[in-house]
């Protein structure tokens, strides 16, 4: 279904180069800063934060600042429809909780992370690194979204202009 | 800031091929079906539709089935916070109205459409074709989102595997 017009030639060598090039893009080269909130904060706080930061997903931290969950615009919309006092409900109650969360790492390829977004039908992957020691878990160092992939797609097209 | 590791060589010829290839991807080859609702339907209906179809943006049609506006998850969340009776508010009241909407066409390149998403900071572009005649305007034939670009990115990487 994909058009092959505009390809002048496509020997195996050129294909290999394109493939290597796309797969050389790493999460750490494109990801955005994470927008986080503690699980004890209210759903109302989470909604305000989402609007102020203009993001689609917030990452939720536990008291040790480790990844506890994820909350999306859709989760918040569902909660807002409930018509309860949103300042009284902790965001931890409505979030999707670890380990039911897909994540990525700084060293993963944009290609592999993008595949997770599509396969698991999620909008966002927290970029995590392990924290070892007394309290183990995942520290959140970035966010990887379809916006990230869109930026990578444009970068791929534009770096060839010079 | 972009990594150049993993590129074995990058003469002008190969760059040209990659560029042509990326830009040959057209909106019509990747876009998804549009999810639409009439402007006279309620905000509540719009929210239900958004959940059932699992999309981020709905396109709003006027009585002639032409594009009248766009409503996002964020617009609906804002309306839901207002705590009024959402079944009484027409979605046309809260939508972003034409002509303040960025659109794309089936023949536009994925590259140009992706650039609009990033530059204008929107989540979705209605894919439109003109309707001429007595009542002129835009018919909506698809939706173009960051999910579309993510799929195009993966297609680019994967078509080289054979």
More confident call, A15 vs A118 = A118
Which structural domain range is residue B153 located in?
26-158
Structural domain contains residue B12: no
Q: Which class for A78: exposed (0-12), middle (13-18), buried (19 or more C-beta within 10 A)?
A: middle
Instruction: Spell out which residues of chain B touch residue A25, defining contact as CB-CB under 8 Å.
Output: 2-3
Structural domain contains residue B5: no
pLDDT of residue A102: 97
Identify the band that residue A6 occupies on the pLDDT scale cut at 50, 70 and 90.
very low
Based on the structure, what is the number of domains in chain B? 1
State the Cα–Cα distance between residues B82 and A80, nearest whole angstrom. Answer: 9
Which residue of chain B is at minimal alpha-carbon distance from A122? B147
Mean pLDDT of B37-66: 94
For residue A2, is pLDDT > 60?
no
Structural domain contains residue A120: yes
Structural domain contains residue B147: yes
Contact B20 A1 (CB under 8 A): no
Question: Would you call A53 an interface residue with chain B, using a CB distance cutoff of 8 Å?
Answer: no
pLDDT of residue B9: 45
Residue with tokens 């998403």: B117
For residue A5, is pLDDT > 50?
no
pLDDT of residue A23: 85
Whether ipTM exceeds 0.90: no
By Cβ distance, the residue of B6, B17, B76 closest to A7 is: B17
CATH at residue A142: 3.10.580.10
- B49-82 residues labelled b (16+ CB within 10 A) or e (exposed): bbeeeebbbbbbbbeeebbbbbbbbbbbbebbbe
Structural domain contains residue A38: yes
For residue B41, is pLDDT > 50?
yes
Mean pLDDT of B104-128: 96
Question: Would you call A12 an interface residue with chain B, using a CB distance cutoff of 8 Å?
Answer: no
Contact A2 B25 (CB under 8 A): yes
pLDDT of residue A8: 43
Mean pLDDT of A117-143: 92
Dump pLDDT digits (tens) for A84-112.
789 999 999 999 998 899 999 999 999 99
State the Cα–Cα distance between residues A143 and B141, nearest whole angstrom. Answer: 32
Structural domain contains residue B17: no
Q: Which class for A63: exposed (0-12), middle (13-18), buried (19 or more C-beta within 10 A)?
A: exposed
What B70-76 contacts at long range (C-beta under 8 Å, 24+ apart), as own/partner pairs, is B70/B95, B70/B96, B70/B101, B70/B124, B70/B126, B71/B46, B71/B95, B71/B96, B72/B96, B72/B123, B72/B124, B73/A56, B73/A73, B73/A74, B73/A77, B74/A50, B74/A51, B74/A73, B76/A77, B76/B43, B76/B46, B76/B47, B76/B50
| Segment holding B59, helix H or strand E | strand B57-61
Q: What is the phi-psi region of residue B158: left when phi exceeds 0, alpha when psi lies from -120 to 50, beta otherwise?
A: alpha
By Cβ distance, the residue of A1, A56, A86 closest to B29 is: A1
Structural domain contains residue A5: no
Mean pLDDT of A15-42: 89
Residues in chain B: 162
Confirm if A87 and A154 have CB atoms less than 8 A apart. Answer: no
Q: Tell which B residues from 73 to 102 touch A, by Cβ distance under 8 Å.
A: 73-74, 76-78, 80-81, 83, 86
3-state secondary structure of B99: coil
Structural domain contains residue B69: yes
Confirm if A58 and A49 have CB atoms less than 8 A apart. Answer: yes
């Amino acid at each position: 279904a994909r058009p092959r017009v505009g390809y002048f030639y496509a020997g195996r060598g050129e294909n290999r180069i394109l493939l290597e090039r796309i797969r050389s893009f790493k999460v750490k080269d494109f990801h955005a800063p994470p927008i986080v909130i503690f699980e004890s904060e209210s759903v109302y706080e989470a909604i305000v934060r989402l609007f102020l930061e203009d993001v689609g997903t917030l990452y939720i931290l536990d008291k040790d600042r480790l990844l506890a969950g994820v909350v999306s615009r859709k989760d918040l919309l569902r909660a807002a429809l409930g018509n309860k006092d949103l300042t009284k409900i902790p965001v931890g109650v409505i979030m999707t909780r670890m380990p039911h969360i897909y994540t990525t790492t700084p060293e993963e390829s944009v290609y592999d992370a993008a595949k997770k977004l599509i396969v698991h039908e999620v909008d966002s992957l927290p970029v995590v690194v392990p924290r070892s020691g007394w309290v183990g878990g995942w520290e959140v160092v970035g966010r990887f979204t379809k916006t990230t992939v869109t930026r990578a797609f444009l970068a791929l097209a534009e770096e060839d202009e010079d």
